[in-house]
Structures are given as C-alpha cells and as structure tokens.
Structure 1
Amino acid sequence: MYSWRITKYNPAKRNESGHYTDLDEWTCFSEGEKKLTMDEYLDIEKRYVDAIMIVMDEMNIDSLFIESLELYSKEIKVQDAREFIAKLWVGKKINKSEIQGIARLTLRNAVWCKLRLRNRFFVHFGYDYYMFIGVSDSCTKALEKIKSIGLYVEGYDSPYL
C-alpha cells in the first residue's frame, strides 16, 4: 500500500527529527480563525478536500465507508451540522458529497473520522491539520495534481492504521 502525509506544511521547515519548526504556522481551525481570514482558511480547507477527491478520481472510487467516528457535540452545534451528522455512523457507505462534508467537519474539529474502502483506499486525519491518504496504486498523476494546488505530499505511513 502506498501512503502519504498530505499537508499545508512545507517539508523544508522540518528539523532533522521531522518536527515542523515554523512556530507562526496555525495548526487547527480555531487557531486559524485568529491568524487568517475565513476566506483564506476556506481556501486551504478546500485544498485538503480536493486532495481526497483527486485521489479518489484517479482510483475510480465514488464512495467510502466510515471506519471510525468520534463526535464533538459543542463543535457540531457551532458548525450547524447536527442534521448531517445524524445520518452518519460507523460502517456507513458514504458518497463523495458526504465525504466532502465529513472531511470539512473533521478539519474544523467537530468530528474525527477514518474513512476506508477495503484495501484500496483510506483517509485519516490527525492532530495539527495533518491528513494521511493510502492507496493500493501509485497515483502519480493525482500526487502531481495535489502538489499543483499548493499542498505538500510526503511518503509517510499513517499513525492511525
């Protein structure tokens, strides 16, 4: 399985231990609201969601299953997502629109989830605005496209496997 860490973080700003050294960088939705405009935040969030769709498209995948799901009720209410979340559960097959919705809510700290399609594809979200995608094929075109939208792609095993 091929696996990558896909983020907004420039790998050139990592130290020899792999830790990110730019202390001015925002690392979560609530922090982002203080350091950039909502439009700037939404642009970066869209890139993450687009990255998932780009890989799914190259793999000819149109749905995933919710493998894990944690809900944070206060943030779900803040994001006005109660109706959407009420239709989701572990094991549910979700379409691209639902994948985009749950990815946004995860990036905004309203939920945490792991999505998967058997041994072909997974997406995991980590702390500090990290995203991990794994696939059964190399997806070289998708990776180049993700880089072209301004995200960084690093070979990396998901810590959530």
Structure 2
Amino acid sequence: MFQYRVTKYSPEERAGTVPSWTSISDLGNSYGGTVFTEDAYLETEQKYLSAIRRFASAQEVTALRIDRLTIDSDSPWWQRVAKGDQLSVDEAIELSRAVLREESVWCTLVVDGEFFVHFGYDYYMYIGIARPSDQAVLDVRRSGLHVDEFESPYLD
C-alpha cells in the first residue's frame, strides 16, 4: 500500500521554526503577524476534504467503512454513526469535517486493503491507497497541501 502524510504544514512549520495554528480552537490567534481567521480555517479544511475526495476518486472508492470510532455523547454525531457503518464518500467527507473541527468525534475510514484515511493530532492526516496515483498526489500538492510518503501511525 502507498501511504502518505497530508498536511498544511511546510517543512519549516513541521520543524517548529515557523509558528502555525494546529486546530480550529486557534481562531483569533496571531501567527507570523497574521490573525488566524475563520475564512483561513475553512479554506484549509476544504483542501483536506478535497484531498480525501481526490484520492478516493483515484482509487474508484465509492464507500468507506468506519473502522475505529471514538465519540462523545455531546457530539452531534452521537447515535448517527457506529463502528462498521458504511458511508458514501459524501457522508465520509462530512464526518471527516467533524473530526477536523474537533466535534467530539474521531475515526478512521477504510476500504479493506484498498484505501484508508486516518486523522492525527494537530491537523495531520494520513491516506493509504492500493494503487499509485501520481496525479492525485500532484493535485493535492497544487492545492497547497504537503504530501509526503509516510507510514500512518494509526495502522493496526
């Protein structure tokens, strides 16, 4: 399987030499003299969700299964999803949005042996694909995200 770390962070930000926001809770804080706004957050979030869609499309994935799930009772997703549920790509994108927004839900999404999406701390995302897709990698990079070969720390 081909595995990637997908992130908004430049190499300098990953090294800690340039400060950057790490979650939606950082809205209003200043980084490098620029206030982190909701518009900036939503733009980045959309890039992540588009990356999931782009990689899924490249693998011809139409549905994903919730593999691991942690959900708090105060989450709007409480009782809407369960481990093992099959979600369309659109539904998986919406659940992914909730994970990125830290809405008291975390999960991994999989198509056994073909595809996965794992979410890490501090706005890191890991994607695994069965077949190489240089075009998907290039498209996600062109969106402004960084895509590096990297083994997901959330593999079983």
1:13-40 per-residue CA deviation (whole Å, 9 max, x = no partner) reads 16xxxx5314520111111453411111
The structure where helix makes up a greater share of residues is 1
For structure 2, list consecutive stretches of 5 or more residues without a partner in the other structure.
Answer: 31-35
Task: Rate the CA distance shift 1:116–1:40 in 2: closer, same or farther, 3 A.
Answer: same
Query: How many residue pairs align between the two structures?
Result: 149
How do 1:5-20 and structure 2 match up within 5 A? 5-11=5-11, 13=12, 20=15
Partner of 2:113: 119
Task: Rate the CA distance shift 1:41–1:73 in 2: closer, same or farther, 3 A.
Answer: farther
The list of structure 1 runs, each at least 4 consecutive aligned residues, that deviate by more than 6 angstroms after superposition, is none
TM-score (norm 1): 0.87
Structure 1 vs Structure 2: percent identity of aligned residues?
34
How do 1:1-161 and structure 2 match up within 5 A? 1-11=1-11, 13=12, 20-22=15-17, 24-35=19-30, 36-74=36-74, 76=75, 82=76, 84-110=77-103, 111-161=105-155
Task: Rate the CA distance shift 1:117–1:33 in 2: closer, same or farther, 3 A.
Answer: farther
RMSD, aligned CA: 1.5
The Cα shift of 1:86 comes to 2.5
Task: Rate the CA distance shift 1:62–1:39 in 2: closer, same or farther, 3 A.
Answer: same
SS of residue matched to 1:132: strand
CA distance in 2, matches of 1:33, 1:113: 27
The Cα shift of 1:71 comes to 1.3
